[in-house]
Amino acid sequence: MPISDEKIMQQLMSTFKAEADEHLEALNKHLLDLEKNSTGDHKSILEEVFREAHSLKGAARSVEAGAIETTAHGIETVFAAAKRRELELKPVHFDLLYEGLDYMKAALVALAEGVDAPDHSGLLARLDRTAQPAGSSVEKTAAPANKPETAAGQPNGSSDSTTASQKTKKNKSKGIEETVRVSTRKLDALMTHVEELLVSKIRTEQRISELKDLKGALQEWQKSWFKHRGAYDSLRRQPRDEMAELLSFLGENQENLKQLWSNTNHLLQDFSKDSMRMSLITEDLQEDIRRVRMLPVASIFEGYKRMVRDLARAQNKQINLQLAGSQTELDKKLIEGIKDPLMHIIRNSIDHGIEAPAVRTAAKKAATGTIKLSAGQHGNTIKVEIEDDGAGLDIDKIKAAAVNKGVISEQEAGALSDEDARLMIFQSGFSTADKVTNVSGRGIGLDVVKTNIEKLNGLVHVSASPGGGTRFTFNLPLPVATARVLLIEPAGETYAIPTTAVERIIRVAHDEIFTVGDQNVIRVADRSISLVGVRDVLEVPDDGELPAPGKLPVIILGAAEKRVAFAVDSLLGETEIVIKSLGKMMSRVRNVSGATILGSGQVVMILNVGDMIKSARQAKRRSAPAPKTPTPDVLNEKKVVAVLVVDDSITTRIMEKNILESAGYQVSLANDGVEALETLRHNHFDLVVSDVDMPRMNGFELTAHVKESEGLQNLPVVLVTALDSAADKERGLECGADAYIVKRSFDQQNLLDTIEQLV
């Protein structure tokens, strides 16, 4: 019966989408397990995969998702044949089954968007032929859509009801938890309310502190009174009419002061008890909501198995993906944040990290390469590692590529440390690949890795050696609503530093500071650590001299494997704070990760320790001369990025012009490649956005001319086109395009993000 209530239908579709995603993920995992161990006894796996396909078919039928239902039925019949040992699953069969899963994912997207799913009659025919017994010429008839089958393939009947009843009892006996799906938006709203409750708790603690001060003041008042009580008693023994009233008043004050102190003390005790109870309840509530948002990293780790399998087959490589720590739980926001960076690094490892089997064998390595993906929690830090046993990184090749691209000079390359050279691979457009492919080679992917991890306030570390493989490490802080911070005060401004990053607080005399090269250094536990002024890193006004008297307060901060000592003017103590986001407009302010409001009402910036350690590399010593103050004109000057948009469609030109001008870019237009080249010869531009299919000179030819023209070789070119075949993409990248965006999946934010990375 068709469902008429639109709201109920929307809820049902939302539930179906979540359920279908789970079934498709499980099917993908079981298929990978079957393919990986194709020679073993897979009866239990076949049962599981058959059940998942059957359940997905039934769920699709309930929302009238015919394309998904019929495809799931086709896959189900193939597994049924495999269960009956009428079909031996081979690589060609797995390719077909994966194609079926991909189609159902696409159909699910189409269903969510309210459009028709692509035609899949050919796919159904191939699934049906695959399920036929060897030598059979009779085609199987698809089961009617309105007659569901049991897991054993039998028509619905009393036995099915009995099985379902037994299954329910069995599940209950195992203690399977009942679950309910809740949107993250609702959880975020709850967490926001908890954060406000935490703010109230902190302000309450501030009021308690003020009450303690009041109690102390009353106590001092009483002590002062007791000191002068002898004089009071003496006056009382010598009464005078004119002093009687005053003495009576002083006597009453004595009793009032005693009562006031007693009342304040009782109020403080009750207030402290209430505050402690509110703290416990708030912390429990915060922890419960936080746990609800937690997901095991297996939710994304398992998805990479299929990607590794497909890319390895496409490149004729043998690669084994090993997973460790898959049950480590992370906040959903953190999982979504690391998903793309992990994908980019794994794709790079497959494309030009792991060698071809023949190359590996010649190098006395196993023909099958290995990529290890692991995750674990260390205190308040999550560590995610991606390690391969491939070709590694060639430092000399990286330096040569950097010099060739004009990123650094030959002299700078010679002075570059191995660690700094490895970090060059994260620059936009940088790549040492000999060949550009659809998978990698333009260097944009690793730039995305660094950018996305830094958005999560994390750090990326890379270690490698030629022929010895490469290891990427993500160090990510756990997302928390509250934190213990150390308050510091450089130049009269208060800042907060998370105590989890503070390794040691010491005081250093001036004669304990020595110089290595152009850097101040101190010795701590027989280890030399760079010393930088917090004022220098934060670029606040400074006279350039170290304080003369006494010892200097120094905080040693650590992130990943790096340690830096920061000199501060004064330390204000430790406190608990509620972390507040700076919002989208200020989501990536250097050296700052958020803000907070202290119990006193003062707004304080929370410092990003990872950024501070990176900024310390560029900060001058405190003893260095102060830089020349720029003029107001220089301070107010802002570079305007000029973009040339090339497209023969006036509609597309105007649309892209409006998008870019709204983002603050200066835009010029050209009708085709010939006009664009003429415009480039007479005007300066920072980037070109071009269509491909144009008269006179297409986008491929324009890109090639730009990259071959003197003075324009380093001009970034972004191709935005309807041509979406792999050959077109590869041709675009080979002729020198820095990015390739398909119009069919065009998203203006994608265009803006790409341009921002390139200019």
Across 136-140, 427-431, 623-627, the highest mean pLDDT is recorded for: 427-431
Return the pLDDT at 644.
Answer: 93
* Pick from 499, 551, 496, 557: nearest CA to 532: 557
Run of H or E including 495: strand 495-498
What are the residue boundaries of the structural domains of the chain, listed by start? 6-167, 185-292, 296-477, 482-626, 642-758
Element (H, E) at 81: helix 66-83
CATH 3.30.565.10 for domain 296-477: yes
Per-residue pLDDT averaged across 602-608, rounded? 84
* Type of residue at 230: G
Residue 631 has what pLDDT? 41
Number of other CB atoms surrounding residue 77 within 10 Å: 22
Highest mean pLDDT among 113-117, 386-390, 392-396, 505-509: 386-390
What is the predicted pLDDT for the residue at 443?
Answer: 44
How much of the chain, in percent, has pLDDT values that exceed 90?
5
Average pLDDT over every residue of 336-342 = 86
Residue type at position 38: S
Tens digits of residue pLDDT in 611-656:
788 777 666 444 333 333 334 443 344 468 899 999 887 667 777 8
| Type of residue at 716 | P
Of the two residues 187 and 382, the one the predictor is more confident about is: 382
Please state which CATH class domain 642-758 belongs to: alpha beta
Spell out the residues 6+ positions from residue 528 whose beta carbon is closer than 8 angstroms to its own: 516, 521, 522
DSSP annotation of 177 reads P
Give the number of other Cβ atoms within 10 Å of residue 256's Cβ. 10
User: Which residue from 596, 641, 349, 649 is spatially nearest to 470, judged by alpha carbons?
Assistant: 349
C-alpha 176: how far from chain center? 32
Greater confidence (199 vs 396) lies with: 396
Cβ-based neighbours of 677, under 8 Å, separated by 6 or more:
697, 702, 705, 706, 709
Which segment of 18-27, 38-47, 451-460, 471-480 scores lowest on mean pLDDT?
38-47
> What is the per-residue pLDDT across 486-535, written as a single tens digit (0 to 9) for each?
888 887 788 888 887 888 888 888 778 887 666 788 888 777 788 888 88
Strand partners, 530: 521
Q: Mean pLDDT in the chain?
A: 75
Longest dimension (CA), the chain: 130
Task: Please give the average per-residue pLDDT across 461-484, as a whole number.
Answer: 81
Q: What are the tokens at 677? A: 């080249």
Give the pTM.
0.53
Evaluate the CA torsion angle 455, 615, 463, 350 in order and state its sign.
positive
CATH class of 482-626: mainly beta
The burial of 97, by beta-carbon neighbours within 10 Å (0-12 exposed, 13-18 middle, 19 or more buried), is given as buried
296-477 and 482-626 in the same fold:
no
Q: Which CATH architecture has domain 6-167?
A: Up-down Bundle (1.20)
Residue 738 pLDDT more than 50? yes
Question: What is the CB neighbour count within 10 angstroms for residue 258?
Answer: 13
